[in-house]
Amino acid sequence: MNLLLRKILLLLVFGLLLFPFAQQQFEFFSEKPLQGSFVAANNAVMSVRNWFSGEYQAQKEKYINENFGARKTAVRLRNQIDFSLFSKVNATEFIAGKQGCIYAKSYLDAYTGEDFIGADSIAHRMQRLKFVQEVLAKKNKTLIFVLATGKASFFPEYFPSSYSNAFVQKNNYNLHVKCAKEQGLNYIDFNSYFVAHKSSSKYPIYPVQYGIHWSEYAMTLVMDSLVKYIEHQRNIDVPNFYFDKVVVRQAKGTDIDIVAPLNLLYFSNTEQLAYPYLKIQSSRGKTKPKVMAIGDSFYATLHNKGFAAAFSYHHFWYYNNSLVDLTPQGNPMLEDEINGSEIVILMATEANLKDVGWGFIDAAYDLYAHGAKPYYDVFTQRVASMAAYIKSDAKWVEAIQKKADERSISLDSAIYLDAKWSVEEDMKKGK
């Protein structure tokens, strides 16, 4: 009996060792690709140079390690065990908090001030935005700065233990709100509004478990509020959004958008959220203004919900880089984009305030203050290219790290500020 058991165990061991190879060759079952932020290794191409340098062997090893049979399933199994038994998330950009609440680390860093870019930088940015607002007002155009809510601000009670004692002195959100008030900007702070109405809201404003963004119910409130704000600012009557039916059901869609990058085999979806049946009034007798929006994924949730239906023209520039659902003709000029609009909306959540505008504020300021005629995305591209160049220079990075430590900001934030300053100086010199 003992001999038979040993043979069975030996066969099982050999079977487990050979299974990945067999799966890779014969593909007994299909595997879903892994999700999230990572760079897949390319297969190595052999040459005399990289063979003798060892580059070929290193790259080949990396490729094989990432592409052996059943690897994706093995990764999901490991993730599932860690998540189910130890509440551990194996995704670098996410952290598990209390009560099943999962946060994107960037939101925790924003809330605690880890990514703080400095009071002077924010004040300078808001002064420029105020200047742009005043110029646009003279052209009968309305600029609206919108602060979307963030999960860290909304659920500080569920912070993981490593963040539970974090003391917030200054962060980008607090300083942007302060400067927006002082400068007299047209702004809407949905972050503070939703936090204040957290306990009194009829339906959940934010998914606790697996959502990065505000709930679909909150989206409808934001769309309605934005339209009413536009009506008030421009003294017009815009088709309003409304709903006459709400279904409470298991969380879905963007309310579980964290699930995919966690790469689990399954997840327990117990959260019940509200899903309004959104409608819009007839446009007969109404005014549908022209809108240009620059925003992050929070604005994208509104766009995907049908926000553009309230407007006759709606250009949404995602992170000020790509025009959503439309193909620009050539390389559009920033001035033409603004001239074609009556309303300019600038939106960001707390995790993205360090980069809010993504080059738009400075480019628009240079357009109206100095007569610069930038193409829409040139400034953003130049800053990104400069930041990449800085990161390739070890001595430069070391010098910037010292600046970051002195200013108590992250290295990435310090690199961005140096890159932005360098590009601005070059543009002043006509380079």
Per-residue pLDDT tens over the stretch 373-417: 655 555 666 777 777 778 777 778 888 887 777 776 767 777 878
> Percent of the chain, pLDDT > 90?
48
Q: What is the mean pLDDT of residues 365-369?
A: 90
Segment 269-286 shows an average pLDDT of 93
Rounded Cα–Cα distance for residues 122 and 80 (Å): 41
- Higher-confidence residue of 154 and 19: namely 154
Work out the angle between the directed axes of helices 394-407 and 378-391 (0-180°, nearest 10).
Answer: 100
Q: What rounded mean pLDDT belongs to the chain? A: 85
* Confidence check: pLDDT of 77 > 60: yes
As beta bridge partners, residue 343 has 142, 291
pLDDT tops 90 at residue 227:
yes
Taking residues 40-64, report their average pLDDT: 73
Q: Is pLDDT larger for residue 147 or for residue 263?
A: 147
Residue 318's DSSP bridge partners are 295, 322
State the chain's maximal CA–CA distance in angstroms.
93
In the chain, % helix, strand, coil (3-state, to 5) comes to 50, 15, 35
306: confidence class by pLDDT, cuts 50, 70, 90: very high
Q: What is the pTM of this model?
A: 0.78
Over residues 332-344, the pLDDT tens digits come to: 678 888 999 999 9
- State yes or no: pLDDT of 329 exceeds 80: no
Burial (CB < 10 A; 0-12, 13-18, 19+), residue 428, is exposed
Distances (CA, A) of 346 to 190, 319, 355, 359: 13, 10, 12, 12
- Residue-level pLDDT at 195: 95
pLDDT at 50 exceeding the cut of 90? no
**Tell me, what's the pLDDT at 206?**
95
**Positive or negative: CA dihedral 105, 107, 110, 112:** negative
Helix (H) or strand (E) holding 144: strand 142-147
Task: Give the separation between CA 316 and CA 291, rounded to whole angstroms.
Answer: 8
Least confident of 131-140, 208-217, 316-325, 352-361: 316-325
Lowest mean pLDDT among 37-51, 95-109, 266-280: 37-51
Is the pLDDT at 22 greater than 70? The verdict is: no
The answer, yes or no, to whether residue 226 has pLDDT greater than 80, is yes
Tell me what pLDDT residue 114 has: 87
pLDDT tens-place string over residues 103-112: 999 999 999 9
Look up residue 90 and give its two tokens: 């194996």
Which residue, among 91, 334, 386, 64, has the nearest Cα to 317 in the 3D structure?
334
How much of the chain, in percent, has pLDDT values that exceed 70? 85
Render pLDDT for 232-249 as a digit per residue (tens, 0 to 9).
999 999 999 999 899 999
Q: How confident is the model at residue 3 (pLDDT cuts 50, 70, 90)?
A: confident
CB atoms within 10 A of CB 82: 15
Q: With a cut of 70, say whether residue 140 has pLDDT above it.
A: yes
Measured N-to-C along each axis, helices 411-428 and 378-391 cross at an angle, to the nearest 10 degrees, of: 130
**pLDDT of the residue at 18:** 64
Element (H, E) at 112: helix 105-112
